[in-house]
Every structure is written in C-alpha cells, then in structure tokens.
Amino acid sequence: MNRTISALVFGLALAGAAQAQTVVTDTDGNGSYSIEELTAAYPDMTPDVFAQVDVNGDGSVDADELAAAREQGVLAN
C-alpha cells in the first residue's frame, strides 16, 4: 500500500514538473516583455527570435504573443 501511494505521488510530481512553464518576469511593470526580460528567461534568445515572437513589430512582446510563440514551439514552455 505504501509503495502504491509513493509511486502515485512520484508520478504526480513528475507530471507537474513536465507541465511547468518558463517564468518570464516583467521587471519594469509595463505589461509587456523586452528582449532583455525574455533573455533573462530564455538565455538563447537572439534578436531574430525576438523579432519572430514580436508579431506586431512594436518592439515588445505581450502575453498573447508569448503564448502563441510557446504554442508554436518558437519558445520552450
């Protein structure tokens, strides 16, 4: 019984870890993410990738653009 419970808890912990998303912090509080803020979360961020994520080309990435980039596999979760 204890082994079953331990296995279940371990499995749930792994499932939660697999669903964890990379945390991006809006350090200046302006409601969008700069290339510097994204680079802090994604160290391999390049200007070309940032431009791909910044769909509307306004120089910052909003929550919808970030979510779309994750869904499309441009950025890892």
- Is residue 32 included in any domain, yes or no? yes
Q: How far apart are the C-alpha atoms of 65 and 56, rounded to whole Å?
A: 9
Residue 77 resides in a domain: yes
Domain of residue 49, residue span: 22-77
> Is pLDDT above 70 for 2?
no
In a domain, 31, yes or no: yes
Q: Is residue 34 part of a domain?
A: yes
pLDDT at 15 over 50: no
62 within some domain? yes
Distance (Å, whole) CA 39 – CA 65: 15
**Per-residue model confidence as pLDDT tens digits over 31-68:** 999 999 999 999 999 999 999 999 999 999 999 999 99
> Is 3 inside any structural domain?
no
For residue 66, the domain's CATH number is 1.10.238.10
Q: What is the mean pLDDT of the chain?
A: 86
Q: In this predicted model, what pLDDT tens digit does every residue of 16-34 receive, in sequence order?
A: 445 678 999 999 999 999 9
Torsion of CA 29, 23, 34, 58, to 10 degrees: -100
State the total domains in the chain.
1
